[in-house]
């Protein structure tokens, strides 16, 4: 018995998640695209061939299972977040829904502790929030049924009581949940801050108040499970939509490639057709703001690739593009996008890249007028 519990590959949590991942390959795990995780585990095995041999039957473990074991070993108290795509299996499914996209939270003590319940959030934009809530409530009913909390005449579990059964049961009864009356929901909107009004204050007093608030950044905001889950949902939504255009770079940093859509953007970006940005998403986002910068040497490499000028001219061009980088970072920090959604922010930035490169004074004047969505 003790030998069994000491083997992480035999833990119920690991076994249930492994089975689920075989049935529904996750798009992301804990915010990282599965393809990125697989590459990182492969690289780790190449660099340290003995590393994963501490796990029983290590040769039979998939790359995602190895990641999962490492995560559970180093962060045993943390929830695991899987973003999944469920294609309705009913050939007569009456709704125009090609794929149900969900974020599944699996608490650290699941399934032994029945108070720690898995839950889902629906990520599909095309499903009105009121109907998405019905699906989420329906999944809660499935969890209750699987844990023996209730009997439900409308729902029949599919293939057991584990995580895979819960998702298969959700698929089977998706029509039941969607046809229910739309739930009323409240839309939370971030209160608009108007940094533009505060900035024109006399320049002398402004720097002093700006330096005094900085000690408030000493104590890092306490990250609650709800904050962590909300952040994860925003990241998963971004990864779902942008697919190959986004990847986890390091820790809280994601590399995102956005297309160049306007004629009025800098010439080198137009020639390249896209721009590589680095998103810094703090652990306590959105309590702490999103940071946007450029990938190291991105613009220098474009200058070398596309410019035929002499070396002195190239240095001037690089300086100009460095100024664009600085302006974008500053303008994103001060602009109120009216949403915490990473997709909304990237969409605004993509459609208004020519404005975000302006110096802060000109940018403030421009955003006082309607700006493209």
pLDDT tens-digit profile of 188-238?
333 344 444 444 444 544 445 445 555 555 566 788 888 888 888 888 888
pTM reported for the whole predicted model: 0.61
Q: Are residues 122 and 262 in the same domain?
A: no
Q: What is the pLDDT of residue 90?
A: 92
Q: Are residues 12 and 138 in the same domain?
A: yes
What domain range is 18 assigned to? 8-179
- Mark which of 120, 144, 179 sits at the end of a domain: 179
Angle at 17 between CA 15 and CA 23, to 5 degrees: 105
- Mark which of 120, 150, 179 sits at the end of a domain: 179
pLDDT band (50, 70, 90) for residue 125: confident
Average pLDDT, the chain: 84
Query: Is residue 19 in a domain?
Result: yes
Q: Are 112 and 118 in contact (CB under 8 A)?
A: no
pLDDT band (50, 70, 90) for residue 275: very high
Query: Is residue 289 in a domain?
Result: yes
Spell out the residues 6+ positions from residue 360 whose beta carbon is closer than 8 angstroms to its own.
327, 330, 331, 334
Q: What is the pLDDT of residues 128-171, one digit of tens each?
A: 888 888 999 999 999 999 998 888 889 999 989 999 999 999 99
Q: Are residues 175 and 274 in the same domain?
A: no
CATH number at residue 348: 3.10.110
pLDDT band (50, 70, 90) for residue 31: confident
With residue 197 as reference, give the H or E element that holds it.
helix 195-198
- Comparing 76-80, 335-339, 363-367, the range with the smallest average pLDDT is 363-367
Is beta strand 246-250 parallel, antiparallel or unpaired with respect to 80-86? unpaired
Q: Are residues 53 and 173 in the same domain?
A: yes
Rounded to whole angstroms, how far apart are CA atoms 221 and 238? Answer: 24
Query: Is residue 202 in a domain?
Result: no
Q: Are residues 89 and 155 in the same domain?
A: yes
- Mark which of 179, 196, 217 sits at the end of a domain: 179
Structural domains in the chain (count): 2
Number of neighbours of residue 363 by Cβ within 10 angstroms = 22
Q: What is the pLDDT of residue 197?
A: 43
Strand partners, 291: 280
Query: Is residue 100 in a domain?
Result: yes
Q: Are residues 244 and 165 in the same domain?
A: no
Q: What is the pLDDT of residues 68-99, one digit of tens each?
A: 999 999 889 888 999 999 999 999 899 989 99
For tokens 């409530």, what's the residue? 137
Q: Are residues 168 and 253 in the same domain?
A: no
pLDDT band (50, 70, 90) for residue 20: very high
Query: Is residue 215 in a domain?
Result: no
Detail the DSSP E strand segments found in the chain: 28-29, 32-33, 80-86, 100-106, 119-122, 246-250, 253-259, 274-280, 291-294
Rounded to whole angstroms, how far apart are CA atoms 234 and 39? Answer: 23
């Amino acid at each position: 018995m003790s030998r069994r519990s000491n083997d992480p590959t035999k833990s119920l949590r690991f076994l249930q998640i492994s089975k689920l991942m075989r049935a529904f390959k996750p798009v992301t795990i804990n915010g990282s695209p599965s393809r990125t995780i697989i590459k990182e585990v492969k690289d780790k095995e190449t660099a340290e061939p003995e590393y994963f041999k501490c796990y029983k039957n290590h040769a039979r473990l998939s790359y995602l299972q190895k990641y999962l074991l490492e995560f559970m070993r180093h962060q045993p108290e943390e929830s695991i977040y899987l973003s999944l795509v469920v294609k309705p299996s009913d050939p007569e499914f009456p709704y125009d829904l090609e794929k149900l996209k969900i974020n599944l939270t699996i608490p650290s003590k699941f399934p032994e502790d029945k108070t720690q319940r898995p839950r889902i959030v629906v990520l599909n934009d095309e499903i009105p929030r009121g109907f998405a809530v019905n699906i989420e409530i329906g999944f809660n009913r499935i969890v209750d049924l699987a844990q023996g909390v209730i009997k439900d005449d409308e729902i029949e579990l599919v293939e057991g009581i584990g995580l895979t059964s819960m998702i298969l049961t959700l698929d089977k009864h998706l029509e039941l949940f969607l046809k229910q009356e739309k739930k009323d929901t409240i839309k939370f909107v971030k209160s608009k801050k108007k940094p533009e009004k505060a900035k024109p204050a006399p320049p002398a007093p402004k720097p002093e108040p700006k330096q005094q608030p900085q000690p408030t950044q000493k104590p890092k905001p306490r990250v609650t499970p709800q904050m962590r889950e909300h952040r994860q949902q925003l990241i998963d939504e971004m990864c779902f939509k942008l697919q190959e255009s986004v990847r986890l770079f390091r820790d809280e940093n994601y590399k995102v490639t956005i297309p160049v859509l306007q004629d009025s953007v800098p010439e080198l970006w137009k020639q390249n057709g896209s721009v590589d940005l680095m998103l810094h998403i703090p652990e306590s986002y959105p309590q702490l703001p999103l940071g946007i910068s450029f990938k190291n040497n991105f613009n220098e490499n474009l200058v070398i690739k596309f410019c035929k000028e002499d070396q002195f001219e190239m240095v001037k061009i690089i300086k100009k593009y460095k100024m664009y980088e600085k302006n974008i970072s500053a303008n994103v920090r001060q602009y109120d996008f009216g949403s915490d959604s990473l997709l909304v922010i990237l969409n605004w930035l993509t459609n208004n890249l020519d404005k975000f490169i302006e110096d802060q004074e000109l940018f403030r004047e421009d955003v006082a007028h309607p700006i493209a969505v």
